[in-house]
Amino acid sequence: MQHTNIPQDPSALEHITKELCYAKNDSGNYQTYASTGWDIKSTALNVAWDDIKESIATAQELVNQGKRSPIYEFMHTHMMTIGILANYVGMCRIRVWLHTYPFWFKHMRTCTIEKYAQVFNIPVSNLHYTAKA
């Protein structure tokens, strides 16, 4: 591919990052060039972001209904799984999973809530439970 043919299609990340591509320069030698991406990749990225947004909205709804704790919502907002979050807070996965339910969340110790707040990089006051019972 010639450097003039490198795709520069708009994407969700075009102002954040560029992709490194190899293409032939005017002398016929391979050289690195930056690309903002191409349509197919942009479409796939947009579909993935839509799925993430839907997952976050579902998590928020479950918290508002009182079926899940704020830990669950922040976990989805930060695109984490139970396993990833468990590693960050230094707890077993089952314990973290229990903390995503209101009953167990309400009985957490302050030091445990502080661990979650630190991982999510938020004030402890943001991890309050306001669901309607």
The pLDDT tens digits for 103-125 are 999 999 999 999 999 999 999 98
What the chain holds in terms of domains, given with CATH numbers, is 3-37 (no CATH), 52-126 (1.10.260.40)
Distance CA 107, CA 101 (A): 10
**Alpha-helical regions (H) of the chain:** 39-64, 70-77, 82-89, 93-99, 102-106, 110-120
Whether 105 and 127 have beta carbons less than 8 Å apart is answered as no
* pTM for this predicted structure: 0.73
With cut-offs at 50, 70 and 90, classify the pLDDT of residue 129.
low
pLDDT at 132: 41
Q: Is the pLDDT of residue 92 over 90?
A: yes
Q: Which residues contact 97 (CB under 8 A, 6 or more apart)?
A: 82
Distance CA 1, CA 15 (A): 24
Q: Is the pLDDT of residue 9 over 80?
A: no
Amino acid at 31: Q
pLDDT at 61: 96
Distance CA 41, CA 36 (A): 10
Q: What is the mean pLDDT of the chain?
A: 88
Distance CA 51, CA 45 (A): 10
